[in-house]
Structure 1
Amino acid sequence: MNFQFTHPYYLMLLIPALVWVVWLALKSDVQVSAWRRWTGFWLRTVIVTALILALAGLQWLRPLEGMNVFFLLDRSDSVPSPQQEAARTLVNQMSEKKKKTDKAGVVVFGSEASIETAVNQAVDVEKIQAVVGRERTDIEGAIRLGTAAFPENGQKRLVLLSDGNENVGDAMASVLASRPLGVTVDVVPMGITRGNDVSVQKLSVPPKLKKGQVFELKIFVQADRAQSATIRLYRNEQYLGEQKVELSAGKNLFTFPQTLPEPGFYSYDVRVEAPGDLLPQNNRASAFTSVKGEPRILIVSSDPDADKELARALQSSRLETKLVGINGMPSTLGEMQSYDSIFLSNVAAGDLGRDLQLLLESAVRDFGVGLVCVGGDQTYAAGGYRGTPLETTLPLDMELDSKKVLPSGAVALVMHGMEFANGNQVARDCAQGVLAALGPNDEMGVVLWDGNEHWLFPMTKVKDKKALGRQIAGMNQGDLPSFQGVMTLAHEGLKKSHSNLKHIIVFSDGDPNAPSPSLMNDIVSDRITVSTVLIAGHAGPETMIWIADHGKGRFYPVTSPNELPQIFIKEAAVILKSAIYEDPFKPQLRASSELVRGIGATEYPMLLGYVATTPKPRAEVPLWTDKGDPLLAHWQYGLGRAVAFTSDAKAKWAKNWLGWDKYKQFWSQIGQWSLRRLENADFTTDVTVEKGEGQISLEALDEQGNYKNFLELVADVVSPKGEKISVPLEQTGPGHYEAKFPTKAVGSYVLNIKDIKDGKVRGSQVVGASVNYSPEFNASEPNENLLRRLAESGGGKVLDPDNLSDNPFLHDRQKTFQPRELWEWLLKFAILMFPLDVAVRRIQLEREEMQRAWRKVRSKIFFWQGVPREPEAEESLTALLARRDQVRSTQTAASEPNPDLFRPEKPVVLATKDIFAPAGEQESETAVADHPGVATKSKEPDKNQPVSTTSRLLDAKRRAQKRKE
């Protein structure tokens, strides 16, 4: 048997404890018999030993059979899809040779790791279901997840199937950390060698330029061998030209002179083409720069022609203004940086999308760009702003005051199972988007088919969004055969609703049969509208178009799941039009502000409509409507300024304003107030990206060229998806500062480096860097050296995938043990032995008492009476006293005493010896007859009969009384 200790250092107490027990046994002055002394000594020795072993954490190692194996499958872009499929097949083949006691599981990894299947005895991976990012390889995360997911018992082995081209984390550190836990690591090399690879390492452009300044565009190209290539150059997506170049093996540098005569934002894109290059993904790079000039304003309008008067009003104050449609909205944070303020005129949240809204929020908060939202029937609550980054940025809240009662809306979602990858999850996300856009007084219900047509939850107020969101998260709809049943349920639910606006949204791929014309007529007659969203349609759009046309709604043909959330937000806004008031009113001036300076309270013309909102606590609201709703509000949001005007600036609601003589002044003052206010800091900054990490290197000099030391510099880094992190720069030398930041996403990273003093930003500099392609395409061959070192450090081996006998379940099997904790049993044993030790030393029992106790135990527990004993010769004192009382009661009850009551029938000879008489003296035997005062015995006691202590005492008492008489 095998044992081990969890706290072996407690064993050092064992010898001193036993010495103490021996000393105590020798020095004790307790007067006990020898056998008790030695029995107590050994009991105390056993108790002390048990306690020390319990403290040391004694464990019994029970032998176990079986091995636990986790296969780690690399699903990143650097591993070709055929090899990923081959790896899945190899897992099944290797698992076929495992023993019945063995278990296997699968972990897939890329940018992150995910458990495909936990370790179990049945292994058959038909298809990989887990979804992980493919643009990075994080071997460390996979090893750590596999190590943590192992069961406690059995041999543990990881099998890594990868090309070894890690670009996130440290795989070697995770292997070394797993070794003390008994985990070994085998590797199976994957990947291919791509010869003749040409890649663009970097495109360098100065981040800021002056108007007309000449600069050089630098292109760094890496080539595996010397060959010819063609470099093509683009600026703002416009082709500038191409040039034939000769590449040498290794790194190459090419420069192109450029000049930019006009202010603005400029993006450059370079592409290299080389014959025989098998990996085109790494053949391009991009960078951006901006040319500063006069302040610039961008107007993004849903109807540019109707907003020309607004553009002319801003241009009248010498503000360079550009008017574009929704498609002209800048798609990157870098493009937004070229404008000092952005106007949104009647733009719905669904027209921008959440990612673009996040970038716009970051531009205002982190880079000081101004934002002015001009209202209309597609803005604020009516445009689905509720719960979006736009609502966060603006000084208005889309939730209305509880005192204001507006018509409510109701929407029913008809959810159909999608047959494209992850389709049901996309549907859940869309339903969550609709839920987030609705107000607490609106109603929502979800109808689906999962074998039966039923409500996921019926039409209900959306006050508790968390509870409804949990139900949507567990929704698992199926591929329904016909729209008739589910749309009938939606129609019946909306008919019972008391909402003023009712809407149905049908989400499908177009497979089900169309509802009947009579049902559509009933829906429309009940003032319910129907819109349809066709996703990845493969049965033709006719059915979905027909439903939308007859339901007086809109039809959306969607080719990408990324478009769905925006569409659902726009459709949810259909029932939010109740927030619009279209009654003429005169603006009311209630507070002074820079935005309305010089305009009297009575000078404002009538407006014909607005969207009801609620001001946020920190917002300034100079203009109000006649119903007590905010008309003009503004505030400081981060480094930028945001303005909200709840009416519009065109002929629909501001018809009377277009001819107003102060129309231009009003909008010019708003535009001037919203402009970026930060002063540019004069730093020399370089930003590079290497191995999935960005590096900032900054030199700070004053006007005389002296180093500026001990500055408090912070870089706000915004990713291509609008996610922001703040990174402090540390001084590493005179006037030199450095910092690092993660770059997991592919695209442009914009950095705002802020110079902070006394908690205030006194200057900033905006720079950028680009991750042109996934680092998965940096390496042209597998990293076999890393794989070999991982196997050596992990105590495993490099497996040959072509040799099926080279199996992780077969080589280097070891006997493993399951530890069983014994400290609790040892403690219980010591507790039970302690009373026995005390009893042996302190309790002394006579043999007669022990026999009597044994008889009682025997009769009570074992129900065994034993052989009947002869009655004892004497009675106990208690029995004698009871007899005396009985006799006295009899004498008292009799009318006359009977003189012969105590007279014996025959004379009794009393022959006894006074035990108190002097030695040698003996009484003579006397025959006594008819003498009432003399006690007699019927016969001489039997010498063989044992005499009790009570009998001897009674005899002595009688003899003493006789002598006295």
Structure 2
Amino acid sequence: MFSLTAPIFLTLLLLAVPFFLLTQQGTKTQSKLKNRNFLLLLRLVSLACLALALAGVHRKAQSNQLVFAFLIDISKSIPKSQQRLAIDQVNTIIKSLEPMDQYCVISFAKQPSVSVPLVTVQNSLNVSPESIWQNAIVQDYTDLASAIQLAISMLPEVAQKRIVLFSDGLQNTGRIDSILELAQASEITVLTIPILAERKNEVIMQELQIPPKIRIGEIFKVRAIVENTMDQVVSINLYRNGFPMITHREISLKSGKQIIALDQQIFDAGTHEFQIEVIVADEVSENNTAYALTQISGQSRLLCIASNPFVAKTIKTVLESENFVVDVIRPSEFPTDFTQLQNNEGIILINVSADELSQLQMNQIETYVRDFGRGLVVIGGDHSFGRGSYQDTLLERMLPLKMTPKQQKESLSILMLIDTSGSMANYVGADQKIGLAIESIRLAINSLDEADLVGVVSFATSIGLEIPPTTDHQRVAQAVGSLRPRNGTQLFPALQKAYKLIKKTEAKQKHIVILSDGKSDGDFESLTALVAKDNITITTIAIGDAAQDLLRMIARNGKGRYVHVEDMTRLPRILAEEVHLTQEYTVQETFVPRLNQTTQILGGIRQPPNLHGYIATSEKKTGKILIKSHKDHPILAVWDYGLGRSVAFTSDLNSWGRDWISWENFGKFWTQVVSAVLPQPNIGKDFDIQTSINGEYIKVVVEAKNLLAAGDSSELVVRVSQPNYQGQPVEMIRTTPTRYEGKIKVDDLGAYLITAKTAKDQQTTSLVVSYPSELASFTTNQQLLHKIADQTNGVFKPSMEEIAARPSRLIKKSKDLAPMFLIICVIFFVLEMIIRQFRFKNYQTTVTSEPPVTQRSMPISTLADQKLEIDSSIQKLLHAKRRSTTDSQMTS
């Protein structure tokens, strides 16, 4: 049976047929008439198909075909044995279906995946466990909604559609209600078959509860909530910060939920992590451990990181006299555990370069300041700020200063004096010394500004390569590649040549870098004194067993640096750093610092003593410059960074700041600087912060104690630090006048540290995700499975007969034939065009190739007939002429 949705378009066909018939009336010859009739037929067929397509022709039929989508839950909460049973049930159901029925299989957990695409039963094979388990999907969560949604999209529109869901119903992500409404609107029934998630022997450490804030020495309870499936004796271990506090304590557990309470006492201030684990031979071990954090209040603890711990001694002494606890470590001793970093309320970096900190360590410091509201103080020196490679690092991002000054730096001329003696042919691992030296020079040249001058002099027994300082950096870099080891080491004449070359340049900063691994003779004392007199500095880099005393003396007299390199692989970085140090502003002048702003940090400070040097920087837009130099460069700057604060002091605690160390207000100044960046105490005077886990999200609730404390929603800032040390803001929505709510996506296991801050209060709390929420319970949620079946007119725990039952009424199927007729229309139309084009080309060929009428060749028979006709006419004309002549004669 056929039907039309827009029959009016058939009038197009009725009107077109007479029109095309009339156009054929002018044809007279039989052959032309046949051709035109054939083309007319093609045109009419094409037109008829177009009219039918526009009219919306449909073919109606009735069917009792069944189409199934089998959904199999393979999340971690379901044992493999139960998953196999579900697969076996699917195969049994398929065998009971009609050959023309269709089905597909979808496995799912956090996301769904098609294991078997839609196929007919007669063309199907058994569903294997491998086809279900081969899909790489996250099994830590269960999302029933996304699985049902995928099934709905795969089932055809016209069929008796059924979804068979095999699951424990423990949904912990996704929204099921809206998907059930979609299934109902699509006339899809969902049959739910519960998979038993229960295990015979299972112990779940559901939660570890510890008071978030505890006083030093206070006795408190550590409470572990345990769920057990059978009566048994287990052993527990309790750890604090990784150290065992209780080991192998036997506890009798009853079936069901219970609380294990343990007394603990802590005498160290800071953040402490507790871990409890139960030792038992159960089926799943991942959920036998739980973690929790607590904060012990006490003296403010500071972590001081210094390249030279001796320099930190003075500030450590004055801060400890003000009741701070100060731990001094080298950068190599940086805490490997973020919890240890949290034990400190502030970090002080003293002359630490960015190269001494890894990217992970800088990430941890940023999280510590930005997301926890802690403090950072950076004190300068010759390895800090611009000279410490802070530019374009997280350190620069955290500080209130830019590493490049606003003023144009002074012009620079640098000459590299390179030892190419025979010893440079030796290998360090897989690399030759001379090769590493060439690579180092090229890296150093690339780090120069375009206007900087650079030259190279190589030496062995005699001077080799000699390039005066030039701005053509590419030429110098290419020429360096030709360096080869030679015999002998004569540094003295080479240094004389370097001095003469660089002295001729007009740059304000002139610097010679000597790279050598050998010994040499000569009056270096006199030569270096002459070089220094012309304000040319010398840095020496000693490689291996070089004449260290000689090179150290040259650097001292040349007012530069001496560097001893034992590991040649470090040479490229060292040489690039030396060029970088030369480029940056290192102001070594005695001056009187100027107070720029009066703040609490400088309370009681009128005029600080002289400084003898600093690293030149420039302020950021929102940074506060509290002390300036005589050249208007920042000396002391502060700003807020995220929830925390950072301070930068661009001078040092050594030779540049030697007058400050004996200053009577030295202790007062640094105590006020450090105190200004430390977080406010968590006194909870304005609000309470609570967290709870719900599936794959952590719910955060901030409850203000009154309307005044609630204030404007823009004043509340909440940030979270994730287990991977990445921080991010938490969007908080005001649900009541005094209540704010937000949520955090759980992407990793571990500690989530949440800090909330207002103008008057700041609090930090934590929630530790010990294991996936999928393993938090093994009780089948039959209530949800009942709900899914009821809302879609399905059946909970259906029998085999109910699953495969044929529909009580036939399904009316209506197939749209318009696309088919439209294709036929195009085919006939194109065919007609091809034929017409072919005939037109043939006609053109015939016309252009025919000769004039007088030149056309004819058959012989035709020519003979024409000749006879001509002869007969001539004879008639001659006969008429003769008769006319005879008559005229007779008349005369």
TM value normalised by structure 2? 0.54
1:491 corresponds to: none
Give me the whole-angstrom Cα distance separating, in 2, the residues matched to 1:173 and 1:333.
42
Match of 1:668 among 671, 696, 700: 671
Q: Tell me how far apart the structure 1 counterparts of residues 571 and 811 of structure 2 sit (CA, whole Å).
A: 67
Residues 592, 225 of structure 1: alpha-carbon distance in 2 compared, 3 angstrom cutoff? same
Query: Which whole-Å CA distance do the structure 1 matches of 2:172 and 2:382 have between them?
Result: 49
Q: Which has a greater percent of helix?
A: 2
Shift of 1:672: 2.3
CA contact (8 A) 2:617 2:633 kept: yes
Match for 1:251 among 239, 251, 257? 257
Consecutive unaligned residues in structure 2, runs of 5 or more: 8-53, 414-443, 451-471, 486-514, 516-565, 823-892
Q: CA deviation at 1:228?
A: 1.0
| C-alpha distance in 2 between matches for 1:575 and 1:794 | 74
SS at the partner of 2:312?
A: helix
Aligned amino acid, residue 273 of structure 1: I
Does the CA-based 8 Å contact 1:586-1:626 persist in structure 2? no
RMSD of the TM alignment (CA)?
6.4
Instruction: Give the Cα–Cα distance (whole angstroms) in 2 for the partners of residues 287 and 120 of structure 1.
Output: 51
Rounded Cα–Cα distance in structure 2 between residues aligned with 1:94 and 1:398? 71
Shift in Å, 1:251: 0.9
Equivalent of residue 610 in structure 2, options 604, 608, 616: 604
| 1:692, distance to aligned residue in structure 2 (A) | 4.5
Alignment deviations for residues 679-713 of structure 1 (CA, whole Å, 9 cap, x no partner): 722467654435455456788779xxxx9997778
Matching residue's letter, 1:617? K
C-alpha contact 2:445 2:477 (8 A) present in aligned 1? no
Report the CA distance between 1:269 and its aligned residue. Answer: 1.8
Given the superposition, is the C-alpha separation of residues 549 and 222 from structure 1 closer, same or farther in structure 2, using an over 3 Å criterion?
Answer: same
Give CA deviations for 1:615-669 in whole Å, capped at 9, x if unaligned: 2111122345677654432113354321123455467x76786667665454333
SS in 2 for 1:372: strand
SS of the residue aligned with 1:253? strand
Q: Distance in 2 between matches of 1:407 and 1:371?
A: 34
Q: Look up the match of 1:644.
A: 648
Describe the shift of the 1:777–1:497 C-alpha distance in structure 2 as closer, same or farther (beyond 3 A). farther
The question of 1:293 aligning with 2:291 is answered no
2:727 maps to a residue whose letter is G
- Report the counterpart of residue 519 of structure 2 in structure 1: none
Choose the corresponding residue for 1:741, options 740, 743, 756: 743
Aligned to 1:137: 142
Amino acid at match of 2:298: G
Per the alignment, residue 765 of structure 2 pairs with 767
Q: 2:637 aligns with which of 614, 633, 636?
A: 633
Q: Deviations over 1:809-849 (max 9, x none)?
A: xxx99957459699x9xxxxxxxxxxxxxxxxxxxxxxxxx
CA 112–190 in structure 1, closer or farther in 2 if over 3 Å, else same: same
Equivalent position amino acid for 1:718 in 2: V
1:674-713 maps to which residues of 2 (within 5 A)?
674-677=677-680, 680-682=683-685, 687-694=691-698
Equivalent position SS for 2:201: coil
Separation in 2, partners of 1:619, 1:314:
25
Deviation at 1:144, TM superposition (A): 4.1
Q: How does 1:371-520 map to 2 (within 5 A)?
A: 371-375=376-380, 390-397=395-402, 401=406, 403=408, 498=474
- SS of the equivalent of 1:762 reads coil
Distance 1:241 1:61 in 2: 78
Q: Distance in 2 between matches of 1:183 and 1:239?
A: 57
Identity %: 25
Q: Against the structure 1 CA distance between its residues 141 and 592, is the aligned structure 2 distance closer, same or farther, given a 3 Å change threshold?
A: same
Deviations along 1:305-338, whole A, 9 cap, x unmatched? 6533432343243323233455765678776665
- Return closer, same or farther for 1:377/1:788 CA change in 2, 3 Å cut-off: farther
- 1:170 and 2:172 correspond: no
Change (3 A) 1:320 1:618: same
Which letter does structure 1 place at the counterpart of 2:609? Answer: E
Q: Does 1:716 align with 2:712?
A: no
The number of aligned residues is 620
User: For residues 466-491 of structure 1, what are the alpha-carbon distances to aligned partners after superposition, in whole Å with 9 as ceiling and x for unaligned?
Assistant: xxxxxxxxxxxxxxxxxxxxxxxxxx
Task: Give the Cα–Cα distance (whole angstroms) in 1 for the partners of residues 660 and 477 of structure 2.
Answer: 31
Q: What secondary structure sits across from 2:684 in the alignment?
A: coil
CA distance in 2, matches of 1:326, 1:500: 36
Map Cα deviations across residues 473-515 of structure 1 (whole Å, 9 max, x no partner).
Answer: xxxxxxxxxxxxxxxxxxxxxxx9849999xxxxxxxxxxxxx
3-state secondary structure, aligned to 1:681: coil
1:377 deviates by 6.8
Within 1, Cα distance between the matches of 2:91 and 2:727?
42
Please give the alpha-carbon distance, in whole angstroms, between the structure 2 residues aligned to 1:230 and 1:156: 52
Contact kept? 1:144, 1:174, Cα under 8 Å: yes
* Contact map agreement 1:679 1:762 (CA 8 A) in 2: no
Shift of 1:197: 0.9
Rounded to whole Å, the distance in 2 between the matches of 1:406 and 1:68 is 81
- 1:619 aligned to 2:617? no
Matches of 1:501 and 1:648, distance apart in 2: 36
Amino acid at match of 2:241: N
Task: Give the distance between the partners of 2:139 and 2:578, measured in 1 at CA.
Answer: 38
Please say if residues 332 and 359 of structure 1, whose CA atoms lie closer than 8 Å, have aligned partners that are also in contact. no
Query: 202, 209, 212: which one pairs with 1:207?
Result: 212
Report the alpha carbon displacement of residue 73 of structure 1 after superposing the two structures with TM. 7.5
Q: Give the letter for the 1:741 counterpart.
A: K
Match of 1:224 in 2: 229
Q: Hey, what's the Cα distance between the residues in 1 that align with 2:348 and 2:775?
A: 40
Deviation (angstroms), 1:250: 0.8
Of residues 772-781 and 361-370 in structure 1, the stretch that sits farther from structure 2 once superposed is 361-370
Specify the structure having the higher radius of gyration (Cα).
1
Q: 1:222 Cα shift?
A: 1.0
Q: Report the equivalent of 1:904.
A: none
TM-score in terms of structure 1 length = 0.50
Q: Which runs of 5+ in 1 are unaligned?
A: 12-56, 409-440, 445-460, 462-495, 503-516, 520-524, 526-547, 556-569, 825-965
- Partners of 2:445 and 2:302 in 1: how far apart? 37
Q: CA deviation at 1:285?
A: 1.6
- Tell me if structure 2 keeps the 8 A contact 1:203–1:218: yes
Q: Is 1:341 the equivalent of 2:346? A: yes
Whole-Å separation in 1 of the counterparts to 2:606 and 2:234: 68
Q: Deviation string for 1:115-151 (max 9, x for gaps)?
A: 9999999999999998765533333244446656889
The structural deviation recorded for 1:86 is: 12
Deviation at 1:199, TM superposition (A): 1.4
Residue type of the alignment partner of 1:723: Q
Q: What's the secondary structure of 1:177's corresponding residue?
A: helix
Structure 2 CA distance for aligned equivalents of residues 671 and 335 of structure 1: 20
Q: Which residue of 774, 777, 780 maps to 2:775?
A: 777
Bigger CA drift: 596-605 or 207-216? Answer: 596-605
How far apart in 2 are the matches of 1:577 and 1:113?
A: 56
**Maintained 8 Å contact 2:609/2:659:** no
Distance in 2 between the 1:406 and 1:796 partners?
A: 83
State the one-letter code of the partner of 2:678. L
Conserved 8 A contact 1:71-1:159:
yes
Indicate the SS of the match to 1:206: coil
Aligned to 1:196: 201
The amino acid across from 1:308 in the alignment is K
